[in-house]
């Protein structure tokens, strides 16, 4: 029997890189009895991060799904990667979960990744709880972290626990709902015991209890009145109100943990059950073509949100059921391929509406697909993912491996939609692009380890363009007389710059049929051809209007070919005479850097011809926005890393083309690829 939706919790563990999500995932599994010992990230012994790439980098690269049982609820926990390179996984998980536990480092407080994901969780209407982790570390501070959370996310971030002790002396927590203290020794699994609230903490516990009650009382007017009248509010009433507030995004409870010591996890599991919503919260799901109702008796519709190559199980697909039941040993239809898939390796006998599970060994199913009882047009709205801007030209070390490379990259794209592969139309190079240097490095490692393809990367050439600055005219004449039928084409053109961003315009101003209408398109073709290689350095020319205004033809010798050649000739002359200039792509760069390195980063950007657009402090970090020529950013990732002690990150997107300063243009010309026009 599938689990009824109200007995489920779908929880995404999200947060900045390295805040302790994987360690917390491990502690939750251990505490709930799903694993026998508490694995450790540095030893590569955790239930998630099983991939060699994850272990060698000590970071999560893709989502791990686990199910645990706690107080008769099935909790599906999704441990997501914090590195922004793998944000597709974090967002994919947020979309299929009703709630998220934000794991925050108690030394560093709210970091960039935390803030970015918070905004996305809000957009997706996901209930949020915060777990302040690493409370055993030196210079950690629960209250300072709480203040940074409030500063970043508003006054409704409220502690439901406070720690007992600090840094390496932390030994337990005080639950502010019940005003009950718990002390943890050993591995915490069996040796957590109730203790009286320590004397020295009773005043602060009282103070934070009141703040919690202020928030809770706001959820309902009757509760507020009774609270103001000084009436006692019962445990159940507080829990109900807390859940109500959390489910509607009116309250964000904050709990305390030390993941690596399994401290605070019992309370966290309770809080997941008590405070976070079940899938019943969202009810039916309205999609453009269909409405799915969370009813087990309706036909099955399950959404595949993640495809993953598992070291042990092979390729697995994670799905969430939105309607009907996914049952072991059945056939379902993939609505994209219209092909039937056999549900063989299911992680449990049956999954009802709202449940999340995984299935192995499907033929041709990957993230973004729907598995359904019947063929229907159905699609999830696309997720807004960052554009892959870290691009490299990729070549195989062994010639003949190209097909293998493309097949492998397509496979990797199914696992991660933010990997891009394309051929640069200007340079003919194969380009692989990702969100960051690390992202592309992971791709290269996987090409080698999983597919046996060795590749080389180099920074791609900057896609320069050319344009013209003033009008010019030219005459193209193609005439050949070499016995038999000759060739004759003759045209006069005028060109002028287009300022409105239009790449090319062709005006036919021929009067009196001096060039027959049937040859005019040939002239245009010739002009377009000539524009593929500009006069400055052979880069494509954009922003030109061509007016064909005169010419002549020969009754016998004229042909399309001859007019095309004449057109190209005229165009080449005209472009050279029209003050041609080189254009370079300018990128809009958004950086987030530690406050202490802002000065260095801005100085470095200026040296890269960057123009700062603004700065915004966000707590410990500052967001800097600037426009920088792409040519100056080809190897920016490692440079930023060293400028910021590894703490900075950035994204960039194309803004527009601008003229290359004349003193630099010469260099580009010298390095431009030879043109074979």
Ligand X SMILES: Nc1nc2c(ncn2[C@@H]2O[C@H](COP(=O)(O)OP(=O)(O)OP(=O)(O)O)[C@@H](O)[C@H]2O)c(=O)[nH]1
Q: Residue numbers of the site for Mg ion (CB under 5 A)? A: 21-22, 60
Q: Side-chain half-sphere of 485: how many Cα atoms within 13 Å?
A: 7
What is the 8-class DSSP label of residue 276? S
List the alpha helices (DSSP H) in 538-661: 560-577, 598-607, 636-643
Give the shortest CB-15-to-ligand X separation in angstroms: 6
Q: Single out the residue of 9, 12, 23, 308 in contact with ligand X (rule: CB under 6 A).
A: 23
Question: Which of Mg ion, ligand X, none has residue 260 at its interface (CB below 5 to 8 Å by kind)?
Answer: ligand X
Stretch that binds ligand X, among 16-24, 30-38, 562-570, 639-647 (CB under 6 A): 16-24
- The C-alpha atoms of residue 501 and residue 53 are separated, in whole angstroms, by 44
Question: Which of ligand X, Mg ion, none has residue 18 at its interface (CB below 5 to 8 Å by kind)?
Answer: ligand X
Question: Which of ligand X, Mg ion, none has residue 426 at its interface (CB below 5 to 8 Å by kind)?
Answer: none
Give the shortest CB-18-to-ligand X separation in angstroms: 4
Question: Which of ligand X, Mg ion, none has residue 84 at its interface (CB below 5 to 8 Å by kind)?
Answer: none
Q: Does 42 bind ligand X (CB under 6 A)?
A: yes
Question: Which of Mg ion, ligand X, none has residue 542 at its interface (CB below 5 to 8 Å by kind)?
Answer: none
- Cβ proximity to ligand X: between 114 and 278 the closer is 114
Stretch that binds ligand X, among 15-23, 63-71, 150-158, 652-660 (CB under 6 A): 15-23
Judged on CB neighbours under 10 Å (0-12, 13-18, 19+), 349 is exposed
Q: Single out the residue of 101, 258, 433, 548 in contact with ligand X (rule: CB under 6 A).
A: 258
Contact (Cβ atoms closer than 8 angstroms) between residue 412 and residue 373:
no
- The C-alpha atoms of residue 324 and residue 294 are separated, in whole angstroms, by 7
Contact (Cβ atoms closer than 8 angstroms) between residue 563 and residue 519:
yes
Question: Which of ligand X, Mg ion, none has residue 437 at its interface (CB below 5 to 8 Å by kind)?
Answer: none
**Residues 107-146, mask of contacts with ligand X (x by CB under 6 A):** --------------------------xx-xx---------
Give the shortest CB-358-to-Mg ion separation in angstroms: 18
In this chain, which residue has its C-beta nearest to ligand X?
82
Stretch that binds ligand X, among 12-20, 419-427, 458-466, 506-514 (CB under 6 A): 12-20
Q: Single out the residue of 8, 11, 38, 41 in contact with ligand X (rule: CB under 6 A).
A: 41
For residue 5, which of 209, 298, 366 has the smallest C-alpha distance?
298
- Cβ proximity to ligand X: between 103 and 321 the closer is 103
- Cβ proximity to ligand X: between 20 and 245 the closer is 20
Q: Does 39 bind ligand X (CB under 6 A)?
A: no
Q: Single out the residue of 63, 148, 192, 260 in contact with ligand X (rule: CB under 6 A).
A: 260
For residue 251, which of 277, 232, 228, 269 has the smallest C-alpha distance?
277
Q: Does 538 bind ligand X (CB under 6 A)?
A: no
Stretch that binds ligand X, among 255-263, 389-397, 585-593, 601-609 (CB under 6 A): 255-263
Q: Identify each DSSP E strand in 397-486 by its residue range.
A: 420-423, 430-434, 455-458, 465-468, 472-480
Q: Does 92 bind ligand X (CB under 6 A)?
A: no
Strand arrangement, sheet containing 472-480 = 472-480, 487-497, 544-552, 504-508
Question: Which of Mg ion, ligand X, none has residue 20 at its interface (CB below 5 to 8 Å by kind)?
Answer: ligand X
Q: Does 31 bind ligand X (CB under 6 A)?
A: no
DSSP state string for 464-482:
-EEEESS-EEEEEEEEE--
- Cβ proximity to ligand X: between 83 and 175 the closer is 83
For residue 265, which of 274, 277, 275, 255 has the smallest C-alpha distance?
255
Contact (Cβ atoms closer than 8 angstroms) between residue 521 and residue 578:
no
For residue 57, which of 591, 446, 620, 395 has the smallest C-alpha distance?
446
- Cβ proximity to ligand X: between 40 and 422 the closer is 40
Q: Does 308 bind ligand X (CB under 6 A)?
A: no
List the alpha helices (DSSP H) in 483-559: 520-531
Question: Which of Mg ion, ligand X, none has residue 19 at its interface (CB below 5 to 8 Å by kind)?
Answer: ligand X
Q: Does 478 bind ligand X (CB under 6 A)?
A: no
Which residue is listed with tokens 């500009």? 534
Q: How far is CA 515 from the centre of its chain?
A: 55
- The C-alpha atoms of residue 89 and residue 503 are separated, in whole angstroms, by 37
Which residue is listed with tokens 């070549």? 395
- Cβ proximity to ligand X: between 137 and 542 the closer is 137
Contacts (CB under 6 A) with ligand X, residues 45-84:
59-60, 81-83
- Cβ proximity to Mg ion: between 60 and 365 the closer is 60
Q: Does 466 bind ligand X (CB under 6 A)?
A: no
- Cβ proximity to Mg ion: between 60 and 260 the closer is 60
Q: Which two tokens stand for residue 599?
A: 């000065």
Contact (Cβ atoms closer than 8 angstroms) between residue 393 and residue 457:
yes
- The C-alpha atoms of residue 104 and residue 106 are separated, in whole angstroms, by 6
Give the shortest CB-185-to-Mg ion separation in angstroms: 26
Q: Does 533 bind ligand X (CB under 6 A)?
A: no
| Longest Cα–Cα distance in the chain | 112
Which residue is listed with tokens 């060795």? 454
- The C-alpha atoms of residue 112 and residue 621 are separated, in whole angstroms, by 7
- Cβ proximity to ligand X: between 30 and 539 the closer is 30
Residues that bind ligand X (CB under 6 A): 17-23, 40-42, 59-60, 81-83, 103, 133-134, 136-137, 258-260
């Amino acid at each position: 029997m599938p689990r009824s939706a109200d007995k489920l919790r779908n929880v995404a563990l999200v947060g900045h890189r390295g805040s302790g999500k994987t360690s917390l995932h491990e502690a939750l599994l251990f505490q709930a009895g799903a694993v026998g010992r508490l694995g450790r990230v540095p030893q590569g012994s955790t239930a998630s991060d099983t991939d060699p790439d994850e272990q060698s980098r000590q970071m999560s690269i893709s989502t791990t799904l686990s199910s645990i049982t706690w107080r008769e609820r099935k909790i599906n926990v999704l441990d997501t990667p914090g590195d922004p390179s793998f944000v597709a996984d974090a967002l994919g998980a947020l979309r299929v979960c009703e709630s998220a536990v934000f794991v925050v480092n108690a030394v560093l407080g709210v970091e960039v990744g935390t803030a970015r994901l918070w905004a996305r969780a809000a957009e997706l209407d996901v209930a949020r709880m915060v777990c302040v982790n690493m409370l055993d570390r030196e210079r950690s501070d629960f209250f300072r972290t709480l203040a940074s959370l409030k500063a970043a996310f508003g006054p409704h971030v409220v502690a439901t626990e406070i720690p007992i002790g600090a840094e390496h002396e932390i030994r337990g927590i005080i639950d502010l709902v019940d005003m009950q203290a718990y002390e943890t020794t050993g591995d915490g699994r069996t040796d957590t015991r109730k203790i009286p609230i320590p004397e020295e903490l009773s005043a602060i516990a009282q103070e934070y209890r009141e703040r919690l009650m202020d928030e809770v009382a706001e959820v309902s007017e009757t509760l507020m009145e009774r609270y103001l009248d000084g009436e006692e509010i019962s445990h159940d009433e507080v829990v109900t109100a807390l859940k109500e507030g959390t489910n509607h995004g009116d309250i964000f409870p904050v709990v305390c943990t030390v993941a690596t010591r399994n401290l605070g996890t019992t309370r966290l599991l309770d809080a997941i059950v008590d405070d976070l919503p079940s899938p019943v919260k969202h009810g039916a799901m309205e999609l453009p073509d269909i409405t799915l109702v969370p009813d087990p008796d309706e036909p099955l519709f399950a959404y595949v949100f993640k495809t993953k190559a598992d070291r042990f199980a092979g390729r697995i697909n994670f799905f969430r059921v939105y309607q009907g039941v996914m049952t072991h040993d059945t056939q379902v239809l993939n609505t994209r391929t219209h092909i039937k898939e056999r549900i063989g390796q299911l992680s449990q006998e049956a999954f009802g509406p709202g449940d999340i599970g995984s299935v192995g060994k499907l033929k041709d199913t990957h993230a973004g697909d729907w598995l359904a009882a019947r063929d229907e047009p159905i699609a999830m709205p696309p997720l807004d993912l960052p554009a892959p801007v870290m691009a490299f030209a990729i070549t195989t070390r062994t010639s003949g491996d190209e097909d293998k490379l493309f097949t492998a990259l397509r496979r990797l794209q199914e696992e991660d939609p933010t990997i891009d592969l394309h051929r640069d139309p200007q340079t003919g190079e194969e380009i692989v692009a990702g969100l960051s240097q690390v992202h592309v490095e992971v791709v290269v490692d996987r090409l080698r380890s999983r597919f046996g393809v060795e590749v080389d990367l180099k920074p791609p050439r900057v896609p320069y363009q050319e344009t013209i600055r003033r009008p010019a005219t030219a005459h193209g004449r193609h005439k050949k007389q070499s016995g038999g039928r000759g060739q004759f084409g003759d045209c006069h053109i005028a060109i002028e710059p287009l300022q409105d961003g239009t790449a090319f315009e062709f005006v036919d101003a021929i009067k009196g049929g001096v060039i027959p209408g049937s040859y005019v398109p040939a002239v245009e073709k010739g002009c377009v051809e000539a524009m593929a290689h500009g006069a400055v350095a052979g880069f494509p020319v954009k922003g030109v209007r061509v007016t064909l205004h005169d010419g002549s033809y020969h009754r016998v010798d004229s042909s399309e070919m001859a007019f095309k050649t004449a057109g190209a000739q005229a165009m080449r002359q005209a472009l050279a005479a029209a003050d041609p200039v080189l254009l370079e792509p300018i990128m809009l760069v958004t950086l987030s850097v530690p406050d202490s390195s802002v000065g260095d980063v801005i100085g470095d950007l200026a040296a890269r011809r960057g123009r700062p657009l603004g700065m915004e402090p966000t707590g410990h970090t500052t967001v800097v926005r600037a426009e920088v020529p792409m040519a100056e950013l080809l190897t920016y990732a490692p440079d930023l890393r060293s400028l910021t002690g590894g703490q900075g990150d950035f994204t960039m997107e194309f803004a527009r083309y601008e003229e290359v300063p004349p003193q630099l243009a010469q260099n580009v010309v010298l390095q431009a690829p030879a043109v074979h026009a």
